[in-house]
Structure 1
Amino acid sequence: MARTALTREEVLETAAALVKQHGPTALTMRRLAAELGTAVTSIYWHVGNRESLLDALVERTVADLAAITPHGRTPAARIVSVARALRHELRARPHLVAMVHERGLTERMFLPAQRALAQEVHAAGLRGTRAAEVVRAVQVQVVGHVLVERNRERSPAQSPAETELWQTATTDPPDPALTRALAAPVDPERLFVTSVRALVNGLLGPHGPTPDRRDG
């Protein structure tokens, strides 16, 4: 027996979950209706056809990324917090982000984070071209890091032995601690935070204090 109580938000939430897990091709009206325990006609009544549903999911994704809020005691720390939040959001919904990109709304999706970054760059004392360069550099760092992470996840696992890391090295003798660390699995979150903090600190220069690790 088909259920009668259904909301548009329920439909969008379930559709988003299907896309997140299986990609846009897995989202059919019949499958969505089955997930919700309702009739296909009920789905059409709430969200229209499949293209309208996809448009609604894109708008929902754009709205989700607009909810990023800076945290921290200094502009540098708050810039790092925006970068971390943006990375998390992009990592959490790759299929939905791809849909936004395919519909030509990438710039709109990044606009809220860009505004937040611009505000903190201004608070750090930068203006004009230099301020724009900082905002763009942070955005590129986030997007580039996410792309590298995804490529690594799709590639076969690679765990070189410690001796392999130094076959062509010029350091003599090798640094045992460094060798062990390089042979260990990468912590993507820690690597990202380290790189973005270094980037922000270098770009702000004398206009902003060194980011406080406790604020990240």
Structure 2
Amino acid sequence: MARTALTREEVLDTAAELVRQHGPDALTMRGLAARLGTAVTSIYWHVGNRESLLDALVERTVREMGAIRPTGRTPATRIVSVARQLRLELLARPHLIAMVHERGLTERMFLPAQRALVHEVHTAGLRGARAAEAVRAVQFQIVGFVLVERNQERAPVQSPGQDTLWDTETAEDDPGLARALARPARPDKLFAASVRALVDSLLTQAGTRTSAT
């Protein structure tokens, strides 16, 4: 027997989870109805047709990305916190982000995070073109890092791998470097270190030598 109690948010939650797991091509109205234990007509009543459902998921994704809020005591720390949150949000929903991009809403999606960054670089003393450069540099760092991570996830197994390619000779007689490069990269740590270095460099332009810790 089909269920009767169903809300629009429940439909969107389940649809978003299907897209996260399997991509938009896996989202069918019949499959969604089966997952929810309801009739297809009930899905149409709540969200319209499949295209309307995809539009609703895109709009919801844009809203969720706008929930990023900076944390920390200094502008540098708060900028790094925005960068970390934005990276995690992008990594968590690649298929939904791709749908946002396909509908030409990428700039709108990034606007709340950009405005948070603008506030922090203003607080740090950067204005005008330098402030814009700092905001874009941080954004490009985030997006570029995410693209590299996504590419590595899809890449085939490498042979030979890092563990056999790096030795004392290839590392120019630096065994510590060889050992480190032979180990898999730690994306979270690497991202934090690279963003901290970038932010400190950018804020130094305004005479703000604040360490992002």
Gaps of 5+ in 1: none
Equivalent in the alignment of 1:109: 109
User: What is the correspondence of 1:95-174 to structure 2 with a 5 Å cutoff?
Assistant: 95-158=95-158, 159-162=161-164, 164-166=165-167, 169=170, 171=172, 174=173
CA contact (8 A) 1:82 1:117 kept: yes
Equivalent in the alignment of 2:195: 196
User: What is the correspondence of 1:26-105 to structure 2 with a 5 Å cutoff?
Assistant: 26-105=26-105
Cα–Cα, structure 1 residues 4 and 200, in superposed 2: closer, same or farther, change >3 Å? Answer: same
In structure 2, C-alpha distance between the alignment counterparts of 1:26 and 1:152, rounded to whole Å: 23
Aligned partner letter, 1:191: L
Equivalent in the alignment of 1:23: 23
In structure 2, C-alpha distance between the alignment counterparts of 1:212 and 1:51, rounded to whole Å: 43
CA contact (8 A) 2:20 2:94 kept: yes
Name the SS of the counterpart of 1:71 in structure 2: coil
In structure 1, C-alpha distance between the alignment counterparts of 2:16 and 2:82, rounded to whole Å: 24
CA contact (8 A) 1:74 1:209 kept: no
Deviation at 1:48, TM superposition (A): 0.4
Name the SS of the counterpart of 1:157 in structure 2: coil
Gaps of 5+ in 2: none
TM-score, reference length from structure 2: 0.95
Equivalent in the alignment of 1:9: 9
Name the SS of the counterpart of 1:161 in structure 2: helix
Deviation at 1:177, TM superposition (A): 1.5
In structure 2, C-alpha distance between the alignment counterparts of 1:136 and 1:160, rounded to whole Å: 32
Deviation at 1:210, TM superposition (A): 2.6
* Percent of matched pairs sharing the same residue: 71
In structure 2, C-alpha distance between the alignment counterparts of 1:30 and 1:156, rounded to whole Å: 34
Instruction: Give the length in aligned residue pairs.
Output: 210
In structure 2, C-alpha distance between the alignment counterparts of 1:199 and 1:4, rounded to whole Å: 54
Deviation at 1:176, TM superposition (A): 1.6
Deviation at 1:15, TM superposition (A): 0.2
In structure 1, C-alpha distance between the alignment counterparts of 2:135 and 2:212, rounded to whole Å: 19
Root-mean-square deviation (Å): 1.4
Deviation at 1:166, TM superposition (A): 4.5
CA contact (8 A) 1:76 1:209 kept: no
| Greater relative contact order (Cα < 8 A, sep 6+) | 1
CA contact (8 A) 2:80 2:196 kept: yes
